[in-house]
Each structure stands twice: as C-alpha cells, then as structure tokens.
C-alpha cells in the first residue's frame, strides 16, 4: 500500500545528516536499496572507501525519501536533468524536492515538499591556489579582500558553499557562470543572494540558510521560496563528531583544470 507523502510545509526545509563510514554489517540493506545503475556505479569506484561511502550515501538517501513517501527504498526511481541533478522520476512536479551533498565521511540532505533547492557542505581545509579569483565574482572577490587574514578561510568556504548550493538549486550546473551571481560572505545574519544576471527580483525569490554542522565543516542551503520565510528542521539530530580526515590539498590544480574544461564545454 502506498501512503500519502508526508507534508513538510511552507515554512520548513528538512535537513538530514549522516556519516558515510558505516560498519560492514550495516551495508546489506543499503546495497539492496540500489538499482542496477547505482550498483554498477558503486562497482566502478577504484577505492573501497569511496565505493562504500557512495553506497552509504545513495542507500540512505533512498531510505529517507522512501520514508516520506511510504515507498520501499528500492522502488524509488530517479531521473536526471541535463546537468546530472537527480529528482524523483514521474510526470509533473515531483512530490518532494531534495538535494544531497557529501564531503569526506559526512553527508547532508535537504528535503522540501514544495521548493526547488540545493545544498552544499565542504570541509574547511587550507589550500594554496588563488581559488577565489578562479571561481568567485568581482563583487565577492572585493568583499574577500577586506576580510582579516585569520577569518579568510571561513569567509572563502562560506562563499564557496553558498555559490555551490545556488548552482545545485538552480539546476543548470556549471553552465551557470559563477560570475553571473553574487552571494554574501559574512558570518553574521542570514546569507543572501545579492545579484543574478538577468533576473532583477532573484534576491527576493531565493532564500539562503547556514547549516549547523560538525566542527570543521561549512555548508549552506539555497531554495527558491518566492518570498516565503523558511527555517531548517534537523531530522534525526545533527552529527556532532566526525573522524579526523587526513589533511591534504583541498582543491588541487588538476581539479581547477577539470572545472575550467567543464565550464567551457557546457557553454558551447
Ligand atoms: C555536480 C556538482 C553538483 C558537484 O558538486 P560537488 O560539490 O562535487 O558534490 P556534492 O557532494 O555537493 O553533490 C553531489 C550530489 O549532488 C547531486 N547532483 C549531481 N549533479 C547535480 C547537479 N547538476 N545539480 C544539483 N545536484 C547535483 C547528486 O545527488 C550528487 O550525489 P552523488 O554524487 O552521490 O550522486 C557540481 O556543482 C560541480 O561539479 N561543481 C564543481 C565544483 C565547482 O566548480 N564549484 C564552484 C563553487 S564556487
């Protein structure tokens, strides 16, 4: 019997957090939730840790969405837009909007029964390249220039995750030029969209929210709420501790090149 979708409401976006490092005995139900394509994708990971984390991410995503819809996790079907954004398959507006982000062993999921949304988390790690120049708009770079050195990393990652959450919510992936919109970078108050080229009322249409995350992570949600005020409802609690990760280059030069190639390709 299929149950009616659980209503989340106009004022709330549900947020789920979980660890992707699960004990082996917890894996069977997660594996059996996957469809063939997901199973094949899992099999293609070279490193076992990455494979197991993908299974723990996709399996739990299916279990959570299934619990809202009253559907067994393995009965859910996803479709993907041209940029790879997953949504629940079916005709018309899906009963739930969702977006997933993972960084190291931590996954977060935002769910709404009415708003198109995106979520992003990143581990705050030092890096060497001038990434802001590569990825941020002129206004964002100007705002970063006046941030005291000791606050730079936090401001950089706030800007990054807000931009990434917006790109993911928007759905156009890397075909949305990163210099075509500005976000706030300050730590106080609610984050905001300041500008989106060609859409004068975009700042009033989009709401941004900071995520409460384990120490060392920064994250944001962006949602097209059309002026409705929303707050986050942490379902299943927040993760308080995470295993220490090996520190390393967070965004090596090779990934910048890949990003630039993808950006160029998506604009052809
Ligand atoms: C595809 C993209 C979403 C990847 O982002 P990411 O930070 O590497 O990954 P995240 O963990 O946040 O999100 C991955 C999840 O988002 C979802 N996703 C995939 N493509 C997506 C898209 N186009 N839009 C929204 N969500 C998407 C999937 O659920 C995916 O999970 P999966 O890998 O387990 O299938 C995309 O935004 C991208 O490649 N960004 C490159 C990074 C960049 O240039 N950022 C600039 C910020 S200033």
CATH number at residue 214: 3.90.470.20
Among positive and negative, which fits the CA dihedral 64, 125, 152, 159? negative
Span from the CA of 85 to the centroid of ligand 1 (angstroms): 8
Tens of pLDDT along 185-227? 998 888 999 999 999 999 999 999 999 999 999 999 999 999 9
Distance in angstroms (rounded) separating the CA atoms of residues 227 and 232: 16
Span from the CA of 99 to the centroid of ligand 1 (angstroms): 9
Nearest residue (by CA) to ligand 1, atom 36, is: 173
Nearest residue (by CA) to ligand 1, atom 25, is: 168
Q: What is this structure's pTM?
A: 0.90
Residue 1 lies in a domain: no
pLDDT at residue number 45:
96
Distance in angstroms (rounded) separating the CA atoms of residues 2 and 18: 26
Q: What atom in ligand 1 is closest to the CA of residue 83?
A: 23
Span from the CA of 264 to the centroid of ligand 1 (angstroms): 17
- Please, which pLDDT band fits residue 250 given cuts at 50, 70 and 90? low
Q: What atom in ligand 1 is closest to the CA of residue 173?
A: 23
Choice from 45, 79, 82, 100 to test ligand 1 binding pocket (greatest atom count within 8 A of CB):
100
Residue 88 lies in a domain: yes
pLDDT at residue number 224:
98
Least confident of 43-47, 117-121, 181-185, 237-241: 237-241
Residue 52 lies in a domain: yes
Span from the CA of 168 to the centroid of ligand 1 (angstroms): 7
Q: What is the mean pLDDT of the chain?
A: 89
Distance in angstroms (rounded) separating the CA atoms of residues 259 and 266: 10
Residue 4 lies in a domain: no
Tens of pLDDT along 81-100? 999 999 999 888 888 999 99
Q: How many domains does the chain have?
A: 1
Tens of pLDDT along 103-134? 999 999 999 999 999 999 999 999 888 899 99
Nearest residue (by CA) to ligand 1, atom 30, is: 100
Residues of the chain with pLDDT > 90, as a percent, come to 78
pLDDT at residue number 254:
57
Residue 2 lies in a domain: no
Half-sphere exposure of 225 (CA within 13 A, CB side): 24
pLDDT at residue number 244:
44
Q: What atom in ligand 1 is closest to the CA of residue 169?
A: 25
- Picking from 226, 225, 222, the residue whose alpha carbon sits closest to that of residue 211 is 222
Q: Which domain holds residue 158?
A: 12-264
Residue 76 lies in a domain: yes
Residue 47 lies in a domain: yes
Among positive and negative, which fits the CA dihedral 156, 157, 162, 164? positive
Span from the CA of 3 to the centroid of ligand 1 (angstroms): 31
Question: What are the pocket residues of ligand 1 if the criterion is a CB atom closer than 6 Å to any ligand atom?
Answer: 54, 57-58, 83-86, 99-102, 118, 120, 135, 160, 163-164, 167-168, 171, 173-174, 178, 259
Tens of pLDDT along 134-177? 999 999 999 999 999 999 999 999 999 999 999 999 998 878 99
Q: What atom in ligand 1 is closest to the CA of residue 263?
A: 44
Residue 113 lies in a domain: yes
């Amino acid at each position: 019997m299929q149950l009616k979708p659980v209503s989340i409401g106009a004022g709330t976006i549900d947020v789920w957090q979980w660890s992707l490092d699960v004990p082996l005995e917890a894996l069977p139900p997660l594996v059996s939730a996957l469809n063939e394509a997901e199973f094949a994708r899992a099999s293609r990971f070279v490193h076992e840790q990455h494979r197991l984390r993908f299974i723990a991410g996709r399996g739990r995503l299916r279990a959570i969405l299934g619990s809202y819809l009253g559907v067994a996790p393995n009965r859910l079907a996803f479709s993907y837009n041209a940029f790879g954004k997953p949504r629940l398959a079916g005709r018309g507006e899906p009963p739930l909007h969702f977006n997933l982000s993972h960084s190291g062993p931590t996954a977060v999921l935002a769910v709404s029964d009415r708003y198109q949304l995106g979520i992003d988390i990143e581990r705050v790690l030092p890096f060497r390249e001038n990434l802001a120049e590569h990825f941020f708009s002129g206004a964002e770079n100007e705002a970063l220039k006046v941030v005291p050195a000791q606050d730079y990393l936090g401001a950089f990652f706030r800007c990054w995750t807000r931009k990434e959450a917006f790109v993911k919510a928007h759905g156009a992936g890397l075909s949305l030029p990163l210099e075509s919109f500005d976000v706030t970078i300050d730590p106080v108050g609610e984050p905001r969209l300041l500008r989106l080229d060609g859409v004068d009322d975009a700042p009033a249409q989009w709401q941004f929210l900071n995520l409460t995350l384990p120490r060392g992570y920064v994250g944001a949600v962006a949602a097209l709420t059309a002026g409705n005020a929303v707050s986050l409802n942490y379902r299943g609690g927040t993760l308080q501790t995470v295993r220490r990760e090996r520190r390393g280059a967070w965004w090596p030069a090779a990934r910048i090149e890949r990003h630039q190639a993808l950006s160029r390709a998506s604009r052809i």
